[in-house]
Amino acid sequence: MIDSVAGDVIRKGSDHIVVDTDGIAYRIFCTATTLHECREGHSTLVYTHLIVRDDAMQLFGFSSLEERETFRQLLTVGQIGPKLALQVLSALPTNALVEAIRTNSVERLTSVKGVGRKTAERILVELRDKIGDATAAPGGFLLTQDEETALRALTQAFGFSPREARPILERLRSENLPADRLVRRALELLGQTR
């Protein structure tokens, strides 16, 4: 997997950038936010998600890890492919999307081109649980897969509430730990608060 690409932006399109990394150029499809932040002729770093299909390999790039994780969460929703997920994030950046899901705003989601009422309702239903109690989270960001696994372990096996565990997991995000080590580290910190 290609986790990130760093290099010079040699070209920008309406939905992508081309980044040269010492002679190899990558076409990376981006959200409007990421496109806005990348300037032709300047160096950049984009966090990527690679999708491999029978007929194509496509890279999708994001200016932050949170934006990439939100994209990955959108891909778990039925009927949402990478292009539509990118379009949703272009119209509703991560915080706006989290707020729309938290407030159950079908109208806000259907304002995105390509998202009808049924798809909007599917996003609300399928991502509501993955976001958890977003009001308890600083910034209201979605959890990574390892953080979700750790949250389930902490709440189901160890009896902590999501309101207790989630802020600790987000505080540990910068340590970039796998799920098992994340649980151990979170237990240490949670033990200090009880």
The pLDDT value recorded for residue 181 is 92
The pLDDT value recorded for residue 138 is 43
Length of the chain: 194
Total-model pTM: 0.69
The pLDDT value recorded for residue 25 is 96
Residue type for 95, please? Answer: N
The pLDDT value recorded for residue 95 is 81
* Helices of type H across 18-93: 32-37, 65-75, 82-91
Residue type for 162, please? Answer: P
Residue 44 CB contacts under 8 Å (≥ 6 apart), including other chains: 6, 7, 8, 9, 17, 19, 37, 38
The pLDDT value recorded for residue 193 is 63
CA atoms within a 13 Å half-sphere pointing along the CA-CB vector of 102: 17
The pLDDT value recorded for residue 141 is 57
* Helices of type H across the chain: 32-37, 65-75, 82-91, 94-102, 106-110, 117-131, 145-152, 162-171, 179-193
The pLDDT value recorded for residue 117 is 94
Query: Rounded CA gap, 56 and 171, in Å?
Result: 37
DSSP 8-state secondary structure symbol assigned to residue 161: -
Task: Note down pLDDT in tens along the chain; length 194 residues.
Answer: 788 999 999 999 999 999 999 999 999 999 999 999 899 999 999 999 999 999 999 999 998 888 898 999 999 998 899 999 999 999 998 888 988 888 889 999 999 999 999 999 999 998 887 764 443 344 455 667 778 788 878 887 888 887 788 888 888 888 888 889 999 999 999 886 65
The pLDDT value recorded for residue 194 is 57
Query: Rounded CA gap, 62 and 113, in Å?
Result: 20
Are 63 and 37 in contact by the 8 Å Cβ rule? The answer is yes
The pLDDT value recorded for residue 80 is 93
Determine if residue 169 is left, alpha or beta; phi over 0 gives left, psi from -120 to 50 gives alpha, anything else beta: alpha
Cα Rg of the chain (Å, integer) = 18
Residue type for 140, please? Answer: G
